[in-house]
Amino acid sequence: MNCFASIRRISVLVPLLGLLLVAPVFAQQWNRFGPGTRSQAAAIYDAATNQMFMFGGQHAPTAIDFNDTWVVNNVIASSATTFNSLNWTKVTVAGTLPSDRFGHSAVYNATSDAMIVFGGGTGFPGPCVNQLWVLKHPDSVGGTPTWSELSPSGTPPPVREGHVAVFDPASNTMIVFGGTDCNNDYYSDLWILSNADGSTGTPAWTQAAPLGSGPTARTQPSAIYDSVNNVMTVFGGFAGNKTAYNDVWTLTNANGRTGTPTWTKLTPSGTAPVARYGQTSVYDSSNNRMIMFGGATGQNATKNDSWILTNPNGIGGSPAWTQLTATDTAPYRKSHTAIYDPVSNEMVIFGGDSQLAVTFTDDHVWVLTGANGLPKAGSGEK
């Protein structure tokens, strides 16, 4: 049985003479009032202020990378009216900025109000870096937004982009997996960064030696994290021979504090999504569901399908794939960003490569309502 949801393209207002920018669905152009079109940026969500922050990315057709920071206010909408009252604002930041980059990761520590950025490619397509940066107070609450580069102890991971990173807020720990070195070498290594944002002590890198065979080397997979059970789940990605994957792996004891991290390959029931890379995945912890959208299956084969994986942490029952059936036409995207709000059950995506060409980037914001595929409480739906 299919799940149901609704997809909408958000019209983003700009703070200039009340001008409403509504680009046609297939219009690929620079937006001088908001972020330029881009892919492989990184985004985080601040639930306290209802803001999505986006940093960096690449406009591949012109070989331009970015190091700008932007915010969408009121990104989680409470009504159709609110959908059309959003606005992009460029964040004015202090400190020395990170260099232009794409394919980096970003996680958010709500306790210290810090966006933590790791790695990325800094050219076209490289070289890659392994720097660690923190943007304190991106929401301007409690202080001026300020960038600073951290100098962790320990041996750092090799340079990379296209990796995944998840964050454990209880221990202020970031877990990094996979990626590529911008030179056709691909990784299957696992790294743990303690005191990730520097607020609880000096950050320290440790390369984990997990049990189990683990996923093969790959770039642009997607990952979610169950902070209650300390489980990271990784889906898909591709390697240098353009082989894409649709395998699902869990990493238990992911932060390394409750035992040795251990890889386990899941075998979900149901028809699985086709192999892909550059998709996004978000986690509904209350219902133990992974929501996956988009990606690409090949050089010019972007997707616009949405999927639910139940029990993606391997806990509470057998994992199962179900394709989500939306009421509207979804955008074709890969290498976009995504955030999720569990209260409204909405998944919001930005940018990415569109279906027009593999290198044609986009600057639209889209929202998937009813993202977990479950009926609203009291709706009478079955």
Cα(259)–Cα(208) distance, rounded to whole angstroms? 11
Q: Which residue from 252, 194, 249 is spatially nearest to 217, judged by alpha carbons?
A: 249
Write the pLDDT tens digit of every residue in 10-56.
Answer: 544 333 222 222 222 222 233 345 688 899 999 999 999 999 999 99
Q: How confident is the model at residue 144 (pLDDT cuts 50, 70, 90)?
A: very high
pLDDT at 78: 62
Q: How confident is the model at residue 361 (pLDDT cuts 50, 70, 90)?
A: low
Structural domain contains residue 34: no
Alpha-helix runs per DSSP H in the chain? 80-83
Min mean pLDDT across 148-162, 232-246, 259-273, 361-375 is at: 361-375
295 CB-near residues (< 8 Å, 6+ apart): 222, 236, 276, 277, 278, 279, 280, 302, 303, 333, 334
Residue 257, token pair as written in the block: 């504090």
Question: Percentage of the chain with pLDDT > 90?
Answer: 73
Cα(72)–Cα(87) distance, rounded to whole angstroms? 6
Write the pLDDT tens digit of every residue in 280-308.
Answer: 999 999 999 999 999 999 777 899 999 99
- Exposed / middle / buried, residue 275 (Cβ in 10 Å: 0-12, 13-18, 19+): middle
Q: How confident is the model at residue 382 (pLDDT cuts 50, 70, 90)?
A: very low
Structural domain contains residue 379: no
Structural domain contains residue 296: yes
pLDDT at 125: 81
- Structural domain total, the chain: 1
Q: Which residue from 259, 299, 368, 271 is spatially nearest to 6, judged by alpha carbons?
A: 368
Residue 100, token pair as written in the block: 């232009």
pLDDT at 94: 97
Write the pLDDT tens digit of every residue in 189-212.
Answer: 999 999 999 999 999 999 999 999
pLDDT at 360: 61
Q: To which residue do tokens 């209260």 refer?
A: 343
In whole angstroms, how large is the CA radius of gyration of the chain?
A: 19
Cα(153)–Cα(202) distance, rounded to whole angstroms? 7
Residue 248 structural domain:
3-20+39-369
Cα(65)–Cα(78) distance, rounded to whole angstroms? 34
Residue 44, token pair as written in the block: 């985080």
CATH of the domain at 361: 2.120.10.80
Strand partners, 156: none
Q: In the predicted model, what is the mean pLDDT of residues 101-105?
A: 98
Q: Is the pLDDT of residue 79 over 90?
A: no
Structural domain contains residue 81: yes
Average pLDDT score, the chain:
87
Q: Which range, 3-17, 128-142, 234-248, has the best average confidence (pLDDT)?
A: 128-142
Q: Is the pLDDT of residue 166 over 80?
A: yes
pLDDT at 23: 26
**Is 318 in contact with 312 (CB distance < 8 Å)?**
no
Residue 131, token pair as written in the block: 């720097």
